[in-house]
Amino acid sequence: MKKKTGRYSGYIRPFSYALDLLTINVLAYFMLSEHLHTTWYHIFITLSWVFIAWNIDFYEVYRYTKVVRIMGRLFKQYLAFLVLNFAYIGFFSKFSEPSEVVWYVTLSLSVVGSFKFAVYFFLRRFRVMFGGNYRKVIILGNGKSSTQLAAFFRDNPDYGYKLEGIFDLKTNKEKEMQLCFDFVLKNGIDEMYCSLASLNDDDINELIDFTDNNLKILKFLPDNKTPLARNLIYDYYDYIPILSLRNIPLDKRANKIVKRAFDIVFSLIVIIGVLSWLTPILAIIIRSESKGSVFFKQKRNGLNYKEFYCYKFRSMRLNDIAHTHQVTKNDPRVTKIGAFMRKTSIDELPQFWNVLKGDMSVVGSRPHMVAETERFVQKVNKFMVRHFIKPGITGLAQINGYRGEVETDTDIINRVKYDIFYLENWSFLLDLKIIVMTVYNAIKGEKKAY
């Protein structure tokens, strides 16, 4: 599975946050009176800036975002930041030079806005001149909207969409859809845009199944005559309405930052507070019972189906089928200390290193060994959807009884259902609930913890 094309915003946005916060703090130090040269004031403006930006989606700027919308968010940030500055000064300080604060906030937003537009227009020029930061797309179906969108992609290369093909479905719809699917897989297409005017309910369901199972982005061109039963999400490319199929909360930058910050803090607490002293103790016991390494690493599939090495304390004797055969009940490969570690989930603790590295999250969909993943992809519908987010040490499926060995098809089907529910309904409170329930289940003991 190829890595998604042109996802540079993952690097640009954190840099934008850092540069903007540095800007407002440096300007505050040089422009405002000494009365405000306090640590508390700088903490206040930093937190205020982040809070406002979070609530107005200040950093949610995409390739199809209009300039006027960016200007609108800059204006909202300006007003809110100005009001909060006056509120702080009025409540905590006797400083009474409002013009000084107005000039400070105005210059801050001017500098931030200039940088924001510089990056925005640089990326547009970069896409045209060097062909980078682009996404491969196709259009499926015919009609006025399809023609308009095709023209939009061709006439606006600065948006970074590379139109690779159009399948009009005018002759043999079934055959053309299959040709389309083959073309998407062969050419590494990132996004599919489909005209609802050319599709019936069965076609739509077939498209949803295909894109879900192959990690492709599916978007629709609405037809005014077609009633929409789904709760879809509207975007606009110029003045062309586009419908997105699935809303994933962790696609939002603010939610990603919250989850990643929690992962880093939580994993450091476990690594420093638990693994630092537990690892040498377990190392002695593991090595005394069986030969081999203290740790066991295995390739798993993570975000966007990318492979990574998942770490565990070794709980089995060395064997040739460790990477292809799942542990079963009363498995003779499992050592005595291994059985205890698996029962209490202690063997999973080294995965907090995976979390710290960024391969995993504390909470997410449990990653499977590569051999299992390849098997499940073929037999379980929508199995690939779970790879839209990072895998986790624990997850919603695990606290609901679907952990450990997959004994029947029902086990993996229900696990996938819980995983999809989680990625479509993520919240920080849901993560906390899953962590608490995981600890509770580990203490209580679970039937399938073997």
Same domain, 242 and 269: no
Q: How many CA atoms lie within 13 A of 416 on its CB side?
A: 20
- The SS3 of residue 311 is strand
The tokens describing 441, both together, are: 């289940």
Give CA separation, 434 vs 100, 148, 240, 437, 445, in Å. 49, 46, 41, 5, 16
Give CA separation, 84 vs 77, 88, 102, 105, 346, in Å. 11, 6, 12, 11, 47
Residue 23 lies in a domain: yes
The tokens describing 273, both together, are: 């507070």
Residue 1 lies in a domain: no
When comparing pLDDT for 311 and 120, which is higher?
A: 311
The predicted-structure confidence for 253-272, as pLDDT tens digits, reads as follows: 888 888 999 999 999 999 99
Sequence-ordered list of residues with C-beta below 8 angstroms from that of 395, at least 6 positions apart, any chain: 363, 364, 365, 366, 418, 419, 422, 434
Instruction: Look at residues 100, 115, 49, 118 and name the one whose alpha carbon lies nearest to residue 77.
Output: 49
Same domain, 194 and 167: yes
Helix H or strand E segment including 362? strand 361-363
Same domain, 324 and 368: yes
Sequence-ordered list of residues with C-beta below 8 angstroms from that of 224, at least 6 positions apart, any chain: none
- The SS3 of residue 228 is coil
Same domain, 191 and 329: no
DSSP 8-class letter at 428: H
- The SS3 of residue 27 is helix
Same domain, 125 and 221: no
Beta-strand pair 217-221/233-237 = unpaired
Same domain, 148 and 293: no
Domain's final residue, options 190, 225, 247? 247
When comparing pLDDT for 223 and 246, which is higher?
A: 246
Q: What CA–CA distance (Å, rounded) separates 264 from 242?
A: 36
Distance between alpha carbon 65 and the CA centroid of its chain, in Å?
20
Domain's final residue, options 247, 279, 295? 247
Same domain, 280 and 364: yes
Same domain, 260 and 330: yes
Same domain, 234 and 259: no
Same domain, 257 and 395: yes
Phi, psi of 307 (to 5 degrees): -80, 145
The number of distinct structural domains making up the chain is 3
Residue 315 lies in a domain: yes
Residue 136 pLDDT > 50, yes or no? yes
The CATH number covering residue 156 comes to: 3.40.50.150
Which pLDDT does position 352 carry in this prediction?
95
When comparing pLDDT for 366 and 223, which is higher?
A: 366
Residue 86 lies in a domain: yes
Residue 45 lies in a domain: yes
Same domain, 116 and 208: no
Domain's final residue, options 109, 129, 149? 129
Whole-structure pTM value: 0.59
Phi, psi of 37 (to 5 degrees): -85, 60
Which pLDDT does position 282 carry in this prediction?
92
Domain that includes residue 366, residue range? 253-444
Q: What CA–CA distance (Å, rounded) separates 390 from 406?
A: 21
* DSSP calls for 123-172: HHHHHHHH--S-EEEEEES-SHHHHHHHHHHHH-GGG-EEEEEEE--SS-
Q: Over range 131-149, report the average pLDDT.
A: 82
Phi, psi of 80 (to 5 degrees): -65, -40
The predicted-structure confidence for 360-392, as pLDDT tens digits, reads as follows: 999 999 998 888 888 888 888 888 888 899 999
- CB-CB contact of 449 with 403 (8 Å): yes
Q: Long-range pairs for 149-152 at CB < 8 Å and ≥24 separation?
A: 149/193, 149/221, 149/237, 149/240, 149/242, 152/237, 152/238, 152/240
Which pLDDT does position 285 carry in this prediction?
92
Q: Where are the beta strands (DSSP E) in 188-321?
A: 191-195, 217-221, 233-237, 240-244, 295-301, 307-313
Which pLDDT does position 361 carry in this prediction?
95
Same domain, 362 and 382: yes
Residue 2 lies in a domain: no
Q: What CA–CA distance (Å, rounded) separates 82 from 4?
A: 39
Residue 397 lies in a domain: yes
Residue 435 lies in a domain: yes
